[in-house]
Amino acid sequence: RVQAGSARDGSTEDRRDLWELVRRLQSRARPPCALQDLKRLRSLLENDDNLLPAASALQGDGNSAWPNEELEAAGTERRLMLSGLVLAAADLSFLALPRPLHMAWAELCREEREAGLHFAPWLRGMAEVLAIPLYETLRAVEGLQVM
Protein backbone atom coordinates (compact mmCIF):
# COMPACT_ATOMS: atom_id res chain seq x y z
CA ARG A 1 0.00 0.00 0.00
CA VAL A 2 1.09 3.52 -0.75
CA GLN A 3 0.73 5.97 2.10
CA ALA A 4 0.32 9.71 1.67
CA GLY A 5 3.65 11.41 1.20
CA SER A 6 5.65 8.19 0.95
CA ALA A 7 6.57 8.61 -2.73
CA ARG A 8 7.91 12.10 -2.08
CA ASP A 9 10.47 11.13 0.52
CA GLY A 10 10.39 7.40 0.15
CA SER A 11 11.84 4.34 -1.31
CA THR A 12 11.94 3.06 -4.82
CA GLU A 13 9.35 0.45 -3.85
CA ASP A 14 6.87 3.15 -2.78
CA ARG A 15 7.38 4.99 -6.05
CA ARG A 16 6.92 1.79 -8.00
CA ASP A 17 3.67 1.05 -6.12
CA LEU A 18 2.39 4.55 -6.85
CA TRP A 19 3.37 4.25 -10.53
CA GLU A 20 1.58 0.88 -10.72
CA LEU A 21 -1.58 2.36 -9.17
CA VAL A 22 -1.59 5.29 -11.62
CA ARG A 23 -1.03 2.92 -14.55
CA ARG A 24 -3.90 0.67 -13.42
CA LEU A 25 -6.26 3.63 -13.02
CA GLN A 26 -5.37 5.03 -16.43
CA SER A 27 -6.03 1.63 -17.96
CA ARG A 28 -9.38 1.35 -16.20
CA ALA A 29 -10.43 4.81 -17.43
CA ARG A 30 -10.23 3.76 -21.09
CA PRO A 31 -13.70 3.48 -22.65
CA PRO A 32 -13.86 -0.35 -23.04
CA CYS A 33 -12.74 -0.98 -19.45
CA ALA A 34 -14.87 1.90 -18.13
CA LEU A 35 -17.92 0.35 -19.81
CA GLN A 36 -17.21 -2.99 -18.12
CA ASP A 37 -16.72 -1.32 -14.73
CA LEU A 38 -19.87 0.73 -15.30
CA LYS A 39 -21.85 -2.46 -15.94
CA ARG A 40 -20.44 -4.04 -12.75
CA LEU A 41 -21.23 -0.91 -10.71
CA ARG A 42 -24.80 -0.79 -12.01
CA SER A 43 -25.22 -4.46 -11.13
CA LEU A 44 -23.94 -3.83 -7.60
CA LEU A 45 -26.29 -0.86 -7.19
CA GLU A 46 -29.29 -2.79 -8.55
CA ASN A 47 -28.58 -5.68 -6.16
CA ASP A 48 -28.28 -3.19 -3.31
CA ASP A 49 -24.87 -4.68 -2.61
CA ASN A 50 -22.53 -2.88 -0.22
CA LEU A 51 -20.00 -1.14 -2.48
CA LEU A 52 -17.26 -0.98 0.13
CA PRO A 53 -17.22 -3.40 3.06
CA ALA A 54 -17.44 -1.75 6.47
CA ALA A 55 -14.36 -1.67 8.67
CA SER A 56 -16.11 -3.92 11.21
CA ALA A 57 -16.57 -6.58 8.52
CA LEU A 58 -12.85 -6.42 7.75
CA GLN A 59 -11.96 -6.89 11.40
CA GLY A 60 -13.71 -10.23 11.46
CA ASP A 61 -16.75 -10.05 13.71
CA GLY A 62 -17.35 -13.76 13.14
CA ASN A 63 -20.65 -13.21 11.28
CA SER A 64 -19.19 -12.71 7.81
CA ALA A 65 -19.48 -15.48 5.24
CA TRP A 66 -16.28 -14.27 3.55
CA PRO A 67 -12.79 -14.54 5.04
CA ASN A 68 -11.09 -11.22 5.87
CA GLU A 69 -8.66 -11.53 2.94
CA GLU A 70 -11.53 -11.89 0.46
CA LEU A 71 -13.40 -8.93 1.96
CA GLU A 72 -10.27 -6.81 1.82
CA ALA A 73 -9.56 -7.85 -1.79
CA ALA A 74 -13.18 -7.12 -2.79
CA GLY A 75 -13.00 -3.70 -1.12
CA THR A 76 -9.73 -2.89 -2.90
CA GLU A 77 -11.13 -4.01 -6.25
CA ARG A 78 -14.28 -1.90 -5.77
CA ARG A 79 -12.25 1.17 -4.76
CA LEU A 80 -10.17 0.75 -7.92
CA MET A 81 -13.35 0.36 -9.98
CA LEU A 82 -14.86 3.55 -8.53
CA SER A 83 -11.59 5.46 -8.90
CA GLY A 84 -11.28 4.36 -12.52
CA LEU A 85 -14.85 5.46 -13.25
CA VAL A 86 -14.28 8.86 -11.62
CA LEU A 87 -11.13 9.25 -13.72
CA ALA A 88 -13.09 8.26 -16.86
CA ALA A 89 -15.71 10.88 -15.96
CA ALA A 90 -12.96 13.48 -15.59
CA ASP A 91 -11.54 12.46 -18.97
CA LEU A 92 -14.95 13.12 -20.52
CA SER A 93 -15.36 16.54 -18.90
CA PHE A 94 -14.35 18.22 -22.17
CA LEU A 95 -17.90 17.45 -23.34
CA ALA A 96 -19.16 20.14 -20.94
CA LEU A 97 -16.69 22.91 -21.74
CA PRO A 98 -17.85 26.53 -21.37
CA ARG A 99 -18.63 28.26 -24.65
CA PRO A 100 -15.27 30.06 -25.16
CA LEU A 101 -13.35 26.82 -24.64
CA HIS A 102 -15.89 24.83 -26.62
CA MET A 103 -15.28 27.09 -29.61
CA ALA A 104 -11.59 26.15 -29.55
CA TRP A 105 -12.63 22.46 -29.63
CA ALA A 106 -15.03 23.17 -32.47
CA GLU A 107 -12.22 24.77 -34.46
CA LEU A 108 -9.99 21.77 -33.82
CA CYS A 109 -12.78 19.44 -34.97
CA ARG A 110 -13.27 21.52 -38.12
CA GLU A 111 -9.55 21.21 -38.91
CA GLU A 112 -9.66 17.46 -38.31
CA ARG A 113 -12.74 17.10 -40.52
CA GLU A 114 -10.80 18.69 -43.35
CA ALA A 115 -8.20 15.95 -42.82
CA GLY A 116 -10.93 13.31 -43.22
CA LEU A 117 -11.68 12.65 -39.55
CA HIS A 118 -15.24 12.97 -38.29
CA PHE A 119 -15.28 14.06 -34.66
CA ALA A 120 -18.92 15.07 -34.33
CA PRO A 121 -20.29 11.51 -34.64
CA TRP A 122 -17.48 10.22 -32.44
CA LEU A 123 -18.26 12.80 -29.72
CA ARG A 124 -21.99 12.09 -29.95
CA GLY A 125 -21.38 8.36 -29.67
CA MET A 126 -18.99 8.83 -26.75
CA ALA A 127 -21.60 10.91 -24.92
CA GLU A 128 -24.50 8.51 -25.60
CA VAL A 129 -22.65 5.27 -24.94
CA LEU A 130 -20.35 6.21 -22.08
CA ALA A 131 -20.65 9.72 -20.66
CA ILE A 132 -24.39 9.94 -19.96
CA PRO A 133 -24.68 6.44 -18.38
CA LEU A 134 -21.44 7.03 -16.46
CA TYR A 135 -22.59 10.30 -14.89
CA GLU A 136 -26.07 8.90 -14.13
CA THR A 137 -24.58 5.85 -12.42
CA LEU A 138 -22.00 7.81 -10.42
CA ARG A 139 -24.80 10.12 -9.28
CA ALA A 140 -26.55 7.05 -7.79
CA VAL A 141 -23.53 6.16 -5.62
CA GLU A 142 -24.21 7.27 -2.08
CA GLY A 143 -21.78 9.91 -0.83
CA LEU A 144 -20.43 10.76 -4.30
CA GLN A 145 -21.17 14.21 -5.69
CA VAL A 146 -21.37 14.53 -9.48
CA MET A 147 -22.02 17.90 -11.08
Lowest-pLDDT range, 3-12, 56-65, 89-98? 56-65
CB count in 10 Å sphere of residue 121:
8
The number of beta carbons lying within 10 Å of the beta carbon of residue 117 is 10
What phi and psi, each to the nearest 5 degrees, are found at residue 99?
-50, -50
Give yes or no for a contact between 58 and 75, defined as CB atoms under 8 angstroms apart. Answer: yes
The model's pTM = 0.62
Residue 55 has pLDDT above 60, yes or no: no
pLDDT at position 103 over 50? yes
Neighbours of 4 (CB within 10 A): 6
Distance CA 7, CA 13 (A): 9
For residue 58, what pLDDT is reported? 46
Give the model's pLDDT for residue 144: 63
Residue 7 has pLDDT above 50, yes or no: no
